[in-house]
Amino acid sequence: MSLEDTDRALCEAVSRIPRPDRDFLVSVLCSDDATRAEVIGSLHATGLAAATVGLLIDAEAEPSLRAVLVGLLREA
């Protein structure tokens, strides 16, 4: 997958997230490490948002992805 394909896929995924959920994700992604870990853990425990949890975990592992996600979520 090319960088353009990845960017397009992320933009499409973000555009499908309802506005209140985008606001929540921005607040989580911009929180301190402990808060992000707590939210990710509680979301993971519910099992309801597996794709979202996976994306948040990936963003934890890669700070540049977190920054890109915050930008995309704010633009959407």
Q: Where along the chain do its domains lie?
A: 3-75
Q: What angle do CA 18, 24, 26 make, to 5 degrees?
A: 100
From residue 61, alpha-carbon distances to 19, 57, 64, 75 in Å are 25, 6, 9, 23
pTM exceeding the 0.75 threshold for the entire prediction: yes
Q: What is the pLDDT of residues 3-16, one digit of tens each?
A: 888 888 888 888 88
Structure tokens at 20: 């209140």
Would residue 2 be called left, alpha or beta, if left means φ above 0 and alpha means ψ between -120 and 50 degrees?
beta
Q: What is the pLDDT of residues 22-50, one digit of tens each?
A: 899 999 999 999 999 999 999 888 877 77
